[in-house]
Amino acid sequence: MASVTQQQIQKFHKDGFLVLEQFFSAEECDSMRSQIQRIVAEMEVPPHCRTAFSTRQEEQLQEQGSSDYFLTSGDKIRFFFEKGVLDEKGNFLVPKEKSVSKIGHALHAYDPVFKQITHSPKVQELGRKLGLERPVVVQSMYIFKQPGIGGEVTPHQDASFLHTEPLGRILGFWIALEDATQENGCLWFIPGSHTNGITRRMVRAASGASTCVEFVGSEPAYDDKQFIPLPISKGGLILIHGEVVHKSELNSSESSRHAFTFHVMEAKGTTWSKENWLQPTPELPFPSLYT
């Protein structure tokens, strides 16, 4: 992997994203894929996915179970499923490994393979090139984008979910573990859209509310023509500014689009919002990117 140039870093500041092809080797990608296969093979379906829907009350308990499962996933390795892959008893309608939408949110902390990738020397070097002084890792996710059913991700800004004061302190690292193409749901970006702040925030709902999180503000209607696709080969890295607008389409192809992604916050002079769904815990304070 070639070293990142100042010119590329300037491009990142201008566009709000940067594509670095072949940042990770095929071997590194394959080690992540085989590790995730092991994790999925041992996966138990969470109890809240197994409640049969019958009464409204049970449905509310199910939603509460799902929301607790999500809200407390920041310091655990947990499983989130595509729609329609489980029957009402929580049994798989498709092969188990084809059912998972994503695994989050602490692979970087608790799994040796993903921890090593997240803190790899080249990632740390990139952080230093970007001028990050006290970067901490706030979350990670393995995203499957399953063939035929991998859902679309509507236009959004990561800082809507990971809010900081001031803004501009969140950075996503998105690693393609397979070729990402327009057919299988690569990322699309609006270049330069990271300079206008954010219009929507996802916050923890007041306790006792029917949902665990709620949105404040609204996402504007974006012009589809402003988005450009960023296909990228296996091993490529996309750096994503916390406020750049991006999306991905439904995967209607026959091939999956696996990716490992993690978010870093510059902790120096930064306040992490107490209203974010994700909170550091005594068990897992946000670890430093630099080792």
State the DSSP code for 121.
H
Q: Where are the alpha helices (DSSP H) in the chain?
A: 6-15, 26-41, 56-71, 107-110, 112-118, 121-129
Task: Please give the Cα distance from 268 to 134 (Å, whole number).
Answer: 6
Total Cβ atoms within 10 A of residue 31: 17
pLDDT value of residue 1 = 60
Please, are residues 121 and 3 in contact by the beta-carbon 8 Å criterion? no
pLDDT digits over 5-38, tens only? 999 999 999 999 999 999 999 999 999 999 999 9
* Superfamily of chain region 6-272: q2cbj1_9rhob like domain (2.60.120.620)
Q: What is the pLDDT of residue 131?
A: 97
CA distances to 49, 76, 156, 198 from 205, in Å: 22, 21, 20, 19
Q: How confident is the model at residue 2 (pLDDT cuts 50, 70, 90)?
A: low
Over the stretch 47-82, which tens digit does the pLDDT of each residue have? Answer: 888 766 556 777 777 777 888 899 999 999 999 998
- Say what the pTM is: 0.95
